[in-house]
Amino acid sequence: MEKHSLRYIKKEATAHALSEAAFQLALERGLDGFVVDEIAQRAGYSRRTFANHFTCKEEAVAMAAFPSDDMAGAEEMITELPEGATPLDVLHHWLKAQFTADLFRRMRDLMSLSIRYPTLDPYILSTFRRLQTAARETISFHFQGRFSVGYSHLLIGAVYGAILPVIDGSLQILLPGDSPKETPEVVTFGEYLDTIFDYLRNGF
């Protein structure tokens, strides 16, 4: 399906509405406190429509952490990079646009839910992989095969692997939207991201 076709946009909007309804119900009632019919009813769709997009309520809940706007702003930012920009430059800008305060909040909420409901774990992992796939496709499109597939996998794996401890709270990083007054000695996510890319450009 063409990414920017009207049909594709409508399909994505429907999936987003269903996943958002599932996510909000999970936060309000816990994963055991609602059924698929209630997700469909809250989103304004039928159970059959839900089944066309998701296999279960866990998948719908986890997908609420995936950006619904196809990262149009990030793509526009990347087109404005200098002609000699490298895959590292593209990925650096992509991540700064992708990891917003809202995305971090949702990922943190999902992590918290998964502690109580381990059945969410594989679907959260799937969503995180989808974020990585979107980044890899962006690099592939921007550089048109000038770098090997293995290179992009290695690069994206290293960067997203460094971000995971921020999401699960293992690293104390000041996230977008957090108040620096609460934790003045902690580096911001932007500073942490810059450090990661400095390592990748200059070595460890």
Return the higher-pLDDT residue of 101 and 46: 46
Domain boundary among 37, 61, 85: 61
Whether residue 204 has pLDDT greater than 80: no
The enclosing domain of 171 has a CATH number of: 1.10.357
Same domain, 80 and 135: yes
Question: Total structural domains in the chain?
Answer: 2
Judge if 122 and 196 occupy the same domain. yes
Residue 61 clears pLDDT 90, i.e. is over it: yes
In a shared domain, residues 71 and 27: no
Q: What is the pLDDT of residues 87-123, one digit of tens each?
A: 898 888 888 888 888 888 898 899 999 999 999 999 9
Confidence of residue 177 (pLDDT cuts 50, 70, 90): confident
Do residue 29 and residue 92 come from a single domain? Answer: no
- In order of 57, 62, 65, 88, 193, the CA distances from 37 in angstroms are 10, 17, 21, 44, 41
What percentage of residues in the chain have a pLDDT greater than 70?
Answer: 89
Domain limits for position 143: 65-202
Average pLDDT estimate for 113-137: 91
Q: Do residue 81 and residue 126 come from a single domain?
A: yes
Tokens of 30: 């816990």
On whether both 112 and 54 belong to a single domain, the answer is no
Same domain, 19 and 110: no
pLDDT confidence of residue 20: 96
Mean of pLDDT over the chain: 86
pLDDT over threshold 60, residue 74: no
Residue 22 pLDDT level (bands cut at 50, 70, 90): very high
Q: Based on the domain organization, do 81 and 40 belong to the same domain?
A: no
Residue 154 has φ and ψ, to the nearest 5°, of: -65, -45
Judgement on whether residues 37 and 89 belong to the same structural domain of the protein: no
Q: Which of 23, 39, 61 is the last residue of a domain?
A: 61
Q: b/e per residue, 162-192, with b = 16+ CB within 10 A?
A: bbeebbeeeeebbbeebeeeeeeebeebeeb
Question: How many C-beta atoms lie closer than 10 Å to residue 10's C-beta?
Answer: 10
For residues 149 and 189, membership in a common domain is answered with: yes
Q: Are residues 79 and 3 in the same domain?
A: no
pLDDT above 80 (res 140): yes
Q: Are residues 20 and 96 in the same domain?
A: no
Residues 6+ apart with CB under 8 A from 67: 98, 103
CATH of the domain at 34: 1.10.10.60
